[in-house]
Amino acid sequence: MYTTQMDAAKKGIFTKEMEIVAKDENIGREELLEKIASGKIVIPCNKNHKKIYPRAIGEGTKTKVNVNLGVSEDSCDYMGEMVKVEKAIEYGADAIMDLSTFGDTKKFRKELVEKSTVMLGTVPMYDAVAKLGKNIKDMTVDDLFKVVEEHCEDGIDFLTIHAGLNRTCIDRLRNSKRLTKIVSRGGSILFQWMVLNDKENPFYEHYDRLLEICEKYDVTLSLGDGLRPGSIHDSTDGPQIQELLILGELTKRAWEKNVQVMIEGPGHVPMHEIVSNMQLEKKLCHGAPFYVLGPLVTDIAPGYDHITAAIGGAIAASAGADFLCYVTPAEHLRLPTLDDMKEGIMASRIAGHAADLAKGLKGAADWDNKMSKCRGELDWEGMFSLCIDPEKAREYRKSSMPIEEKVCTMCGDLCPMKRCNEMI
């Protein structure tokens, strides 16, 4: 038998999850086994998440998109967040992260696992604050690990743990000239705990304990970037790279225990540094799948950060990033609404698909070619059926109907498709 997908791959066992992934990703059996065994592909699939439809993240697979949601003390509507869950899946999200920091987090998490067919992630450090009701300083190491195990037992498929944010990294941070210090919420909580208690990061110091829990449930470890840059000024600086070096070391230790690993990355990165950031992660973290927030290519666009992130995400994914964490127009401003969420999902899905085309991923262009054929034939229903957002496309066309039904109001009778079709 086997303990995790990685363990199975090392033993040459082709699991039912791998069978689904191989078909969906058009990857051969031996190639998939090799890439999972070497850590280049992960299948986040907790043994207790019964309704999940397995998806792969990593080299040679389609770029995946994650949606963050959850409640805060200032905006605590669990029913509204559950509607977002249902809509996120409908809109094509591959994963959902519950980032709740207030209220009955366990009840919401359990309902998520019961209903969701997509991968689920959490940040246990958030829940520790919400659940324990203690001052951050008073949390014990056992408190933190108890929360981690509860999330695994509940059926969460991947956990963001900032295990690389150790004392060496903090020294780097203190000696840096960062404008935005720590922008990772989980990283800042952990940083505060370490400073107030004058202790090492418990997830770094007791890393083997963390790996034992993840192996038990086959939970993928998403090694968080507590020192990701929160501004383009801070991009690719000493603290960020120092933490990445530690994450590379922790990745190898996880693989030795057959624990699947993803690496989380920036953040805010100017366009000319994105490719080098992807290369650094793949080199320093031994080809582990890279999960990026954006990256956002400028700091000046609150209200439009789904666009700044889509630009960065497309470049990042074309250069090696495997998993895009969506960014909404509400980034930096408020908890996203349902409409914000949709805008973020569509922007990230477009970025991911554009990157798959640039990478020459097998079959990626089929979707575009089908759309182009329908467009050339002025087959509106065919175009709508292929749209990434059919609802919006239909609304736009319906809002301005032409005199001649086949064309649109942009060109009308001068439509080049119509004229070419009449002549050829």
Instruction: Name the helix (H) or strand (E) containing 65.
Output: strand 64-69
Residue 228 assigned ligand-binding role: yes
Residue 415 assigned ligand-binding role: yes
Residue 81 assigned ligand-binding role: no
Residue 152 assigned ligand-binding role: no
Spatial distance between the Cα atoms of 233 and 211, rounded to a whole number of angstroms: 35
Residue 58 assigned ligand-binding role: no
Residue 186 assigned ligand-binding role: yes
Residue 68 assigned ligand-binding role: yes
Residue 76 assigned ligand-binding role: no
3-state helix, strand, coil split of the chain in percent (to 5) is 55, 10, 40
Neighbours of 196 (CB within 10 A): 13
Spatial distance between the Cα atoms of 127 and 267, rounded to a whole number of angstroms: 22
Please give the structure tokens belonging to residue 416: 């080049």
Is residue 223 within 8 Å of residue 161, measured between CB atoms?
A: yes
Instruction: Name the helix (H) or strand (E) containing 95.
Output: strand 95-98
Residue 335 CB contacts under 8 Å (≥ 6 apart), including other chains: 71, 72, 74, 75
Helix axes 141-154, 124-132, angle to 10 degrees: 110
Spatial distance between the Cα atoms of 234 and 267, rounded to a whole number of angstroms: 10
Residues 70, 74, 75: CA angle, nearest 5 degrees = 45
Residue 332 assigned ligand-binding role: yes
Residue 394 assigned ligand-binding role: no
Neighbours of 300 (CB within 10 A): 8
Residue 226 assigned ligand-binding role: yes
Q: Could you tell me which of 55, 130, 142, 152 has the C-alpha nearest to residue 95?
A: 55
The amino acid that residue 285 corresponds to is C
Q: Say whether 299 sits in a helix, a strand or coil.
A: coil
Residue 126 assigned ligand-binding role: yes
Residue 206 assigned ligand-binding role: no
Residue 333 assigned ligand-binding role: no
Residue 214 assigned ligand-binding role: no
Please give the structure tokens belonging to residue 313: 């995400």
Q: Which residues are annotated as a binding site for Zn(2+)?
A: 268, 332
Q: Which residues are annotated as a binding site for substrate?
A: 68, 97, 126, 162, 184-186, 225-228, 264, 291
Q: Which residues are annotated as a binding site?
A: 68, 97, 126, 162, 184-186, 225-228, 264, 268, 291, 332, 408, 411, 415
Q: Which residues are annotated as a binding site for [4Fe-4S] cluster?
A: 408, 411, 415
